[in-house]
Amino acid sequence: ETITKSFREVQPVLDLNRRLIQQANDNHRSKIPRNLATNVEWIREIKANIS
């Protein structure tokens, strides 16, 4: 039960990070300066989520 509870707490953060990484990849491929600047914010958010 402890593992299941931990998984339920962690899974939403993993899902969010997955979406942020996908968006960052799309932005990187676009090479649009505004999108690249947004990636900096998302990378910071991902870093905060895993800290």
Helix, strand, coil percentages in the chain from 3-state DSSP, rounded to 5: 90, 0, 10
Phi, psi of 31, deg, nearest 5 = 60, 20
Q: What is the pTM of this model?
A: 0.80
Exposure on the CB side of residue 18, measured as CA atoms within 13 A: 6
pLDDT in tens, 3-34: 888 888 899 999 999 999 999 999 999 999 99
Banded model confidence at residue 51, pLDDT cuts 50, 70, 90 = confident
Whether 14 contacts 6, CB under 8 Å: no
Banded model confidence at residue 42, pLDDT cuts 50, 70, 90 = very high
Residue 2 scores a pLDDT above 90: no
Angstrom distance (rounded) from CA 51 to CA 48: 5
Angstrom distance (rounded) from CA 4 to CA 27: 34
Banded model confidence at residue 1, pLDDT cuts 50, 70, 90 = confident
